[in-house]
Amino acid sequence: MSIAIPRRSVHDPHERLKVAAVLAGGGLVAVAIGVAVVLSPTVGLALGAGAVLLAVAVRDPALALALWMPAFSTSFAPPGNALLRAGFPVALLAMLVVACRSRLTLPTDRRWLGAVAGLTALVAGGTLWAQRPVAHLAELLPAALAILVAVAIVVVVRTGRDVVLVVGGLAAGPLISAATGVAFGDRFAAGSEVFGRLTGATGDANQLAAQLVSSVGLLLGLTLAARGLGLRVLGTVAVVAALAGTLATQSRGGAFALVAVVLVVVAAFSGRRRLSAALTVLAVAGGCVFLALQPAALDRISSVDETGTGRLHLWTIAVQMTGDFPQGTGLGGFVALSGGYARSVGTLDRADLVVENPVVPHNTFLQFAVETGLLGLAVFVAVTGLSLVLTLRAARRFAALGDDRMALLARGALVALLGFLVAAIFVSFPFSYRMWALLALGPALDGVARLAAARGGPAPRVAAS
């Protein structure tokens, strides 16, 4: 006995109307993008990228986020900047889609969410006591967008597949940025003092180094969790490339962060010590070969330059400013006020970085202390500490559930965040999109582990529809 399944005829007026509407809408979008490209290539690229990502977000929110995340490391190149701009409304749509599918359930640890909410309220309230309200308001939107990135990851990531996609997107961004730098030189450098250092499409050698160091941890997790020799070989090559790129930036902060990563890798991947140790030795050997071929990079990394970016003087000014304004100066306050402290630190080797062209304090934690006050620094440290604890807890939960692959990804995320935080001692990025994405991985992984434990098994590999 057969059952006839009715099919909608293409001659059905209603179906023809739907097809015509879709074609007309697509045509209008194409024309709008074309006009935008002629008027402003960046805006046109952003509209095109946004249209693609919005379509993807409706079907697969995690994939849309993953495709957007390389823009965090390539925003100084026009295509990367366009992709970055297009991604924020996509993140909002992705959260909305997941919220509708999951009936607004959120398995993330509420303490972390509370700490993030507290920091957000503190930064917003800083408008009331900001020393330079105009500067504070100018920095307020980027800060809000960085926190949006973290919240989007926590809301959207619900399955093991989501984790792989997001981690892959975060790991790929710095490699793309470094490859752009190799291909185009320092074309996208934000400053003039490049001195042959690799800046990539990130705009700054020190920031690229911090991003590449975090990619080493993420790539190690992906490589160790991969099934199949081909994927592991590809992952190993990517790890070596990330290490070589870090050294090519000639960043001392990046070098310190790499040492921290090497020290913690074998302990973090306790279940795969032999393989992780082999990958680490191979990566270090590749780095040594690179330094042997690039003696200029070795000289800069190993030398102690007391002037350089004037970090010690900038840090001294930051400490003094925090003492004068324990409640915080408001966002952008350090750059606005540092000139007034030039004489208090003695002779400045780089007075231009304080008086003529003032820069940030080159320390993420000190910048939080100066601009959001001691309370803001304490809340940020709480957010960071909770992220580390939740990442480690997720790894242990996955291991207890017998899901070794997810446990390895969690440990890779832990290594990545630790490496980035070490680099953050030497670079200022309090509201870096990448840093807040890394901070969100721990709560997201913990949420996936909770859902898996509730189901009584490993994390599902496919997203719920």
Q: Are the CB atoms for 165 and 66 separated by under 8 Å?
A: yes
Write out the two tokens for 263: 């020290």
**Distance of alpha carbon 253 from alpha carbon 424, whole angstroms:** 8
Which of residues 5 and 423 earns the better pLDDT score?
Answer: 423
Residue (of 401, 428, 409) closest to 170 by Cα position: 409
Buried b (16+ CB within 10 A) or exposed e, 341-361: beeebeebebeebbeeebbbb
**Distance of alpha carbon 249 from alpha carbon 247, whole angstroms:** 5
The 10s digit of each residue's pLDDT in 169-205 is 999 999 999 999 888 877 766 654 556 788 888 888 8
> What's the one-letter identity of residue 271?
G
DSSP code, position 340: G
What is the per-residue pLDDT for 251? 84
**Distance of alpha carbon 247 from alpha carbon 209, whole angstroms:** 8
What is the per-residue pLDDT for 79? 85
The 10s digit of each residue's pLDDT in 219-231 is 999 998 888 888 8
The per-residue DSSP string of 149-177 comes to HHHHHHHH--SHHHHHHHHHHHHHHHHHH
Which of residues 149 and 102 earns the better pLDDT score?
Answer: 149
Arithmetic mean of pLDDT, 419-437: 93
Every domain of the chain and the residues it spans: 25-103, 110-455
What is the per-residue pLDDT for 112? 95
**Distance of alpha carbon 228 from alpha carbon 323, whole angstroms:** 56
Angle between helices 61-68 and 133-156 (to 10 degrees): 140
Helix (H) or strand (E) holding 323: helix 311-324
C-beta neighbour count of 85 within 10 angstroms: 18
What is the per-residue pLDDT for 240? 86
Which of residues 69 and 296 earns the better pLDDT score?
Answer: 69
What is the per-residue pLDDT for 445? 96
**Distance of alpha carbon 419 from alpha carbon 336, whole angstroms:** 30
Residues contacting 139, CB < 8 A, separation 6+: 331, 332, 431
- CA 163 distance to own-chain centroid: 14
The 10s digit of each residue's pLDDT in 406-418 is 999 999 999 999 9
What is the per-residue pLDDT for 35? 46
**Distance of alpha carbon 330 from alpha carbon 369, whole angstroms:** 10
What is the per-residue pLDDT for 151? 95
Write out the two tokens for 81: 């900047």
User: Does residue 337 have a pLDDT over 90?
Assistant: no
User: Does residue 24 have a pLDDT over 50?
Assistant: no
The 10s digit of each residue's pLDDT in 88-110 is 999 999 999 998 887 656 777 88
**276 by DSSP, 3-state: which?**
helix
pLDDT band at 302 (very low <50, low <70, confident <90, very high): low
Write out the two tokens for 389: 């604890």
% of residues, the chain, pLDDT over 70: 73
- CA 71 distance to own-chain centroid: 9
